[in-house]
Amino acid sequence: MKITKIIELTDKNFKKEVFSSKKYVLVDFWADWCGPCKILSPILEDIANEYFERMIVGKINIDMNKKIPIKYSIKGIPTLLLFNKNQIVGTKIGVVSKMELKNFLDKKLLH
């Protein structure tokens, strides 16, 4: 079984895990019933492992955590928000290929 480097985010731990991080944090807003979220999940696993030194990947279930998705006006899932120092520095909505996500991250992580 593969060990995941993805952290589970909640309304309660979001501020601590995301805003206190010294690394970039990629947050996946998802739900159990979301087909596209299931397609994206293994891609995020790979990204979490490949980018472990440079950033953290976290997932927040929008059905179990209502405050954070409302705060960030999440209208559709999957939605990926990339945070750096309490700021959103990038957004991806919908399923993206691993290559597309890597290109997006590589551009953002250079700054």
Residue type at 108 in one-letter notation: K
CA 109 from chain center: how many Å?
14
Query: What is the predicted pLDDT for the residue at 110?
Result: 76
Instruction: Write out the CATH class of domain 7-109.
Output: alpha beta
pTM equals 0.94
Is 34 one of the catalytic residues? Answer: yes
Q: Considering 18, 26, 27, 34, which one is annotated as catalytic?
A: 34
111 pLDDT tier (thresholds 50, 70, 90): low
Residues 14-37 have pLDDT tens digits of 999 999 999 999 999 999 999 999
Per-residue pLDDT tens over the stretch 22-81: 999 999 999 999 999 999 999 999 999 999 999 999 999 999 999 999 999 999 999 999
Please work out, in degrees rounded to the nearest 5, the angle formed at the alpha carbon of residue 59 by the alpha carbons of 51 and 46: 35
Please pick, among 37, 43, 74, 81, the residue that the annotation labels catalytic: 37
Residue 4 pLDDT exceeds 90: no
User: DSSP per residue over 25-90, as a string?
Assistant: EEEEEE-TT-HHHHHHHHHHHHHHHHTTTTEEEEEEETTT--HHHHHTT--SSSEEEEEETTEEEE
